[in-house]
Chain A
Amino acid sequence: RKEVEQDPGPFNVPEGATVAFNCTYSNSASQSFFWYRQDCRKEPKLLMSVYSSGNEDGRFTAQLNRASQYISLLIRDSKLSDSATYLCVVNLGPQKVTFGTGTKLQVIP
């Protein structure tokens, strides 16, 4: 089993839709979690951290389920500009960071 797994997509959704991505991780000792956004041919950029209690930033909501070992990202009211690849990241501890391979989102007019 891979350390971090994501559905590669693509997820094709209309503008205004709500879309959710999941990311599963294998090591129950994982300590911190993040979502990154990566545009085509650009570097990954931090979108948001994921906290145990769940957290929201505008249209984006991130949640952590330690019991089932997954994190999720929910995007409400999708915009064309949300089209990108979303990477989940799991930190096991110092110097042990694992990136998922990403989920591609395409928002359609």
Chain B
Amino acid sequence: DVKVTQSSRYLVKRTGEKVFLECVQDMDHENMFWYRQDPGLGLRLIYFSYDVKMKEKGDIPEGYSVSREKKERFSLILESASTNQTSMYLCASQGTGDQPQHFGDGTRLSIL
């Protein structure tokens, strides 16, 4: 079974802080994704990566950056956290493009 592990289930940070969310997968998948999910809006793609050191913007990249230094790890960075970034953040990995994505448990991030 694919295992996708996110570093924190719950996180509380203050406005203006730099926030790091980590995601690790154990299946040697090429593709990794970061989403946020808000009530009534569904899953929205922030960034994805299709290889080490490669990244592509998703639908809502503003205020975020990512890092993929190793194949198994994909980090999401909130450069200067704001209250409108309070959300559920979900990491996913995918083998090839026609395969399903597998999600981590999610991180509930609150920005105060």
Contacts and interface: CB of A to CB of B under 8 A. Distances in A.
Interface of A: 31-32, 34, 36, 41-46, 49, 87, 89, 91, 93-97, 99-102
**What is the predominant secondary structure among interface residues of chain A facing chain B?**
strand
Nearest to B56: A95
Contacts of A99: 42-43
B75 interface: no
A91 B42 contact: no
Main secondary structure of the interface of B (DSSP, over half): strand
A59 B98 CA distance: 25
A74 to B, nearest CB: 19
Of B41, B45, B94, B101, the most chain A CB neighbours within 10 A belong to B101
Most A Cβ at <10 Å: residue of B56, B97, B106: B97
B100 A89 contact: yes
B105 A43 contact: yes
A91 B96 CA distance: 11
B29 interface: no
Contacts of B41: 101
Contact of B100 (A43, A49, A94, A95): A49
B31 interface: yes
B42 A94 contact: no
Contact of B42 (A43, A49, A101): A101
A91 B31 CA distance: 13
Contact of A94 (B31, B33, B43, B102): B31
